[in-house]
Amino acid sequence: MEGDRDDQFFWWDVSKGVLTAAPRHTLALGGVDPALEGRFEVVLKDLSTVEVEPVFALLKRHLESYTPEKAGKICEIQPDNIRTLARKVATRKTKIFIGWNSGKYYHGDLMERAMALLLGLTGNWGKKGTGTRSWAISGMDGEIFLAGKEGPGQEEAQKLIAGMIAMRRLIAADDPTLTAEMISNRMMKLAADADGAAGFPMPPAFLWYYQYGYKERWNDAENNDPSMKRSFDDYVEEAVEKGWWDPRYAKVYKDVEPRVLFESGGNVLRRQRGGQKLLLEHLWPKLKTIVSVDYRMTTTGLYSDYILPAAQHYEKLGHSMPSVHHLNYVLCDRAEEPVGESLPDVEIGIRMLEAIEERAAARGMTEFIDATGKSRSLKSLTDAITHKGELRDEEKRADEAIRDSAVYGILPKGTSLETLREKGHVRWENWGMILHGVSQASTLKPDEVHNPLRWHTEDKIPYDTLVRRAQYYIDHEWFLEAEEGLPTHKEPPDAGGGRRRFQMTSGHNRWSIHSMNMTNNILLNTHRGEPFVFINDRDAADLGVENGAKVKLVSDVGEVLVAAKLSEACRPGQVILYNGFEPYMHENWYSQADLEPGHVKHLGFAAGYGHLDYRILSWQPIPADRAVRVDVETLD
């Protein structure tokens, strides 16, 4: 319509028989009776006529492919079980704990979109006992904003807050329909895109693509998603050309080879999907120096030039993961002093800055030009991060961050390191602005269970989506090309080798966080003392594999030697290799990641579409590690 903005969407008002603009500032219907079905003729600005229909009508036709009988064949589930579950969800409060399992599948986005659709159709969110929950971080404003203050002290924190409030007002003035959630998300994007945040706005997928050796794998047509109509290269280049991803950083990752790998607690040779074989072949030859910061000997440490000894978790001040699940700041105090020459990670970082300043001064260097052409100062680096040394001490720094979080309204007024040592933990009072908190879209109340999205269901505040509503239909050109406009079912692509007999999935070992505790002898004794793979007992009998026997898992990109653990709980045609075993725990020093091609779904590069825009930890391409095709071979 004349004068409408590009992202204005419309309803067909059944009561009046006219096309009506859906309000952008509220979810309230305002007397409109939106059509759910039917087809209607609409006259456009140029007087041409088009036929429109509601998305719900598209959805009904789409779901004809998923009757209980059809879905039962796909899932290998008895159709009546599907009916029983559907009736329970439709008539009772339902909550889905997603975890990080479905998200690790190539089509995990489709799985989770389908879950959201189910809950939305049955009214199961925005109310206590409903919705979806997963890993989500918040409550870290005090730490993250520490370096952004002009100086130490809570008055400086108040000044920073005042500046943020002013920025919020400017953003709101530009578009009065923006909600608090939308404003916070836009502020985070502005901060990420600022000149001082070089490298932050770009996801690592471009680095993997151009420098880690993934380009060849992702362009391998035999292992690609059949939905792809073009080469992977074509999609990446189009995404950059259209400005969906900052072209400055895409160009840097493409043209500039990495020279130094400095990792802290990452253990990249174990964690990176695609494994050490890929990285040692493609990345390591380009590097001049590899530094690993850790409290133990990891696989990456074995291939590093330097290992800087970090203090273990109970040898430094810290806190548990500040997650929206428990809404508490839990202090993890120092139980022992760091052993030997080990230091807290922050202290290691500060000493690195001091050394850089010292060497720069000795060479007469006061600045350098970064890869994007921006001039960067090499002076006063340490003063800036420690506020001229006043927050150099670990205790002072921790206390400052905690007190600032109280000023920001996240923690109760007067909270400090001293009060936390007395109480052990305190409940949040507000979300703050960092990461997932504000996206919970619910007000925190004392002594009340939190449930997300209540602002939308109770206060009718719009969602931060393209259409300002819960949006199931994505008409981005790439999604329509892949026939994923609506949630649909797709089998994983043949990553690892489609002809191979087994699908490899994964999980977590007991009492271990990734590989952190896996080399502990006591914990090893709870896992048979060595890495193992679950195999269905009937599959094992067919292969002639006995319980405890060493087998070889083989994919198109690698192989792993591991002990077999027979289990009826493992489905026929499936093997389960748990995440976390160090590669050097295996006989041939290759682990689970070396079986995984590390494929990324091309739709992860789609952006420029409302809510489909890069947000750290929320929207970016990530490699899949579930449902990799492997064979199991016996060893003579």
Give the list of residues 6+ apart from residue 556 with CB closer than 8 angstroms, or none: 223, 496, 497, 500, 597, 629
**Residue 380 domain-assigned (yes or no):** yes
Kindly state whether residues 523 and 428 are assigned to the same domain. Answer: no
CATH number at residue 514: 2.40.40.20
pLDDT computed for residue 218 by the predictor: 94
If you search the block for the tokens 């009916």, which residue do you land on? 83
What is the rounded CA–CA span in Å between residue 378 and residue 358?
10
Kindly state whether residues 590 and 514 are assigned to the same domain. Answer: yes
Q: Which residue has the higher pLDDT, 133 or 378?
A: 378
Kindly state whether residues 167 and 44 are assigned to the same domain. Answer: no
Pairing of strands 574-577, 502-505: parallel
Mean pLDDT of 523-534: 89
Backbone CA torsion sign across 400, 402, 407, 408: positive
Give the list of residues 6+ apart from residue 279 with CB closer than 8 angstroms, or none: 212, 213, 268, 269, 272
pLDDT range class, residue 147, cuts 50, 70, 90: confident
3-state secondary structure at position 616: coil
What is the rounded CA–CA span in Å between residue 415 and residue 403?
6
pLDDT tens across 11-37, in order? 999 999 999 999 999 999 999 999 999
**Residue 324 domain-assigned (yes or no):** yes
What is the rounded CA–CA span in Å between residue 444 and residue 63?
37
Provide the b/e sequence for 465-480 (b: ≥16 CB within 10 Å).
bbbbebbbbbebebbe
Q: Which residue has the higher pLDDT, 341 or 100?
A: 341
Kindly state whether residues 431 and 566 are assigned to the same domain. Answer: no
Kindly state whether residues 542 and 429 are assigned to the same domain. Answer: no
3-state secondary structure at position 118: helix
**Residue 491 domain-assigned (yes or no):** no
Kindly state whether residues 537 and 619 are assigned to the same domain. Answer: yes
**Residue 596 domain-assigned (yes or no):** yes
Pairing of strands 532-535, 502-505: unpaired
What is the rounded CA–CA span in Å between residue 376 and residue 353?
14
Mean pLDDT of 180-189: 82
3-state secondary structure at position 318: strand
What is the rounded CA–CA span in Å between residue 573 and residue 504?
9
pLDDT tens across 565-585, in order? 999 999 999 999 998 899 999
What is the rounded CA–CA span in Å between residue 559 and residue 533?
13
Last residue of a domain, one of 449, 475, 490: 449
**Residue 439 domain-assigned (yes or no):** yes
What is the rounded CA–CA span in Å between residue 617 and residue 636?
45
Contact 619, 612 (CB under 8 A): yes
If you search the block for the tokens 């703050």, which residue do you land on? 432
Contact 482, 228 (CB under 8 A): yes
pLDDT computed for residue 495 by the predictor: 61
pLDDT range class, residue 614, cuts 50, 70, 90: confident
Amino acid occupying residue 330:
V
Kindly state whether residues 434 and 528 are assigned to the same domain. Answer: no
pLDDT range class, residue 99, cuts 50, 70, 90: confident
Q: Which helix (H) or strand (E) holds 362?
A: helix 345-362
What is the rounded CA–CA span in Å between residue 596 and residue 276?
11
Per-residue pLDDT at 79 exceeds 70 = yes
**Residue 287 domain-assigned (yes or no):** no
Kindly state whether residues 435 and 517 are assigned to the same domain. Answer: no
Domain range for 19 is 10-53
**Residue 295 domain-assigned (yes or no):** no
Kindly state whether residues 434 and 515 are assigned to the same domain. Answer: no
Q: What is the CA radius of gyration of the chain?
A: 27
Largest CA distance in the chain: 80
pTM given for the model = 0.93
Nearest to 606 by CA among 470, 472, 477: 477
First to last CA, the chain: 74
What is the rounded CA–CA span in Å between residue 408 and residue 142?
8
3-state secondary structure at position 257: coil
Give the list of residues 6+ apart from residue 254 with CB closer than 8 angstroms, or none: 206, 210
**Residue 492 domain-assigned (yes or no):** no
Contact 49, 42 (CB under 8 A): yes
Structure tokens given for 123: 């009214």
pLDDT computed for residue 193 by the predictor: 62
Kindly state whether residues 373 and 442 are assigned to the same domain. Answer: yes
Structure tokens given for 45: 């600005």
pLDDT tens across 426-454, in order? 999 999 887 788 889 999 998 888 999 99
Kindly state whether residues 441 and 510 are assigned to the same domain. Answer: no
What is the rounded CA–CA span in Å between residue 165 and residue 159?
10
Last residue of a domain, one of 407, 428, 449: 449
Kindly state whether residues 316 and 445 are assigned to the same domain. Answer: yes
Backbone angles phi, psi at 438, to 5 degrees: -65, -25
pLDDT computed for residue 198 by the predictor: 44
What is the rounded CA–CA span in Å between residue 344 and residue 351?
11
Number of domains in the chain: 3
Mean pLDDT of 612-627: 85
